[in-house]
């Protein structure tokens, strides 16, 4: 059984009388320890897919399984537990708490977890041991995203989900963030899903899921994923 399975997933957003079909018939799987890049144009349904996988949104059709467990049947309380223990999330705009230091931002997330990693050790892992006592406003965008990654990793989640993690960063900084994600996946065996609209990034993945108009256009496997240093765009 695959680590992540999407089975004929559909999602319709209803706002009053207006229905938007964001996903239909989405089926794919991800194996444990893989880097999966989900690629597609703006509006294709990538964020909807990731939010369903992360327990931040619910599907209207189909099933999603993580590690053998059907998360599409969880009630709200179970869903909160799932988000809390199983999922690390990295967003485009970092979303750090401004009046907590970098390491406190990591600490607060690790306190939610059953089996957290040591916050300072994770700050070191992301290359920010010497900036641990800085507040977010004293850090660059790339450094703030490193803190956000540390915060997600410190929970020691089953799955790390990243929605356009370099969308707000310049080229070199974005590349360094992707290198951190790639190295982390390789070293710790963490399963990582990265959403992007940049098709050059597909070369770094073990598995590429292309989303078009709310459904899977193709799934491909890279037998020899490129190191991010060797990818230019
Ligand atoms: N909360 C929502 N309510 C209504 N429509 C939404 C909502 N979120 C997303 N959509 C719509 O669903 C489609 C897919 O959006 P999204 O998953 O954000 O795509 P992507 O991340 O690939 O840009 C778009 O047409 C978008 O307008
Ligand atoms: Mg999106």
Q: How confident is the model at residue 207 (pLDDT cuts 50, 70, 90)?
A: very high
Q: Ligand 1 pocket check: which of 10, 13, 161 to mutate, most ligand atoms within 8 Å of Cβ?
A: 13
Which pLDDT belongs to residue 83?
96
Q: For residues 227 and 224, what is the distance between their CA atoms, to the nearest angstrom?
A: 9
d(CA 39, CA 197): 5
The H-assigned helical ranges of the chain are: 46-53, 76-86, 102-110, 119-125, 141-154, 171-188
Looking at ligand 1, which atom is closest to the CA of residue 40? 22
* 118 alpha carbon – ligand 2 mean position (Å): 31
Q: Strand pairing of 4-15 and 215-221?
A: unpaired
The ligand that comes nearest to the alpha carbon of residue 38 is 1
SS3 190: coil
Predicted local confidence at residue 30, as pLDDT? 98
Q: What is the pLDDT of residues 143-175, one digit of tens each?
A: 999 999 999 999 999 999 999 999 999 999 999
CB atoms closer than 10 angstroms to residue 130: 9
Distances (CA, A) of 192 to 1, 45, 113, 121, 202: 18, 18, 18, 20, 13
pLDDT interval class at 128 (50, 70, 90): very high
Q: At what angle do helices 171-188 and 141-154 cross, to 10 degrees?
A: 20
For ligand 1, is residue 73 a contact (CB within 6 Å)? Answer: no
Give me the pLDDT at residue 78, please. 97
Q: Whose CA is nearest to atom 2 of ligand 1?
A: 13
Pick the CATH number of 4-230 from 3.40.120.10, 3.30.70.20, 3.40.50.300, 3.30.2090.10: 3.40.50.300
What whole-number distance in Å separates Cα of residue 23 and Cα of residue 49?
8
Encoding tokens for residue 225? 């994923």
Q: CA triplet 155, 66, 47: central angle to 5 degrees?
A: 75
Name residue, tokens 């599409």: 72
């Amino acid at each position: 059984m695959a680590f992540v399975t999407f089975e004929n997933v559909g999602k319709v957003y209803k706002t009053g009388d207006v229905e938007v079909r964001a996903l239909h018939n989405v089926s794919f799987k991800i194996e444990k320890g893989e880097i999966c890049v989900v690629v597609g144009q703006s509006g294709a349904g990538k964020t909807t897919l990731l939010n369903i996988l992360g327990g931040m949104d619910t599907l209207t059709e189909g099933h999603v399984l993580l590690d053998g467990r059907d998360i599409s049947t969880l009630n709200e309380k179970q869903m909160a537990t799932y988000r809390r223990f199983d999922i690390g999330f990295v967003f485009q705009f970092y979303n750090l708490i401004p009046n907590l230091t970098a390491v406190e931002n990591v600490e607060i997330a690790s306190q939610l977890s059953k089996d957290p990693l040591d916050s300072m050790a994770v700050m070191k892992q992301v290359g920010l041991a010497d900036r641990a006592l800085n507040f977010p406003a004293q850090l660059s965008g790339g450094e703030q995203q490193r803190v956000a990654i540390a915060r997600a990793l410190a929970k020691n989640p089953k799955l790390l989900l990243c929605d356009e993690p370099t969308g707000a960063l310049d080229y070199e900084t974005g590349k360094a963030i992707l290198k951190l994600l790639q190295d982390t996946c390789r070293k710790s065996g963490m399963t990582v899903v990265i959403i992007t609209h940049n098709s050059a990034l597909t070369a770094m993945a073990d598995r590429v899921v292309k989303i078009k108009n709310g459904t899977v256009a193709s799934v491909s496997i890279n037998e020899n994923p490129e190191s991010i240093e060797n990818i230019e765009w």
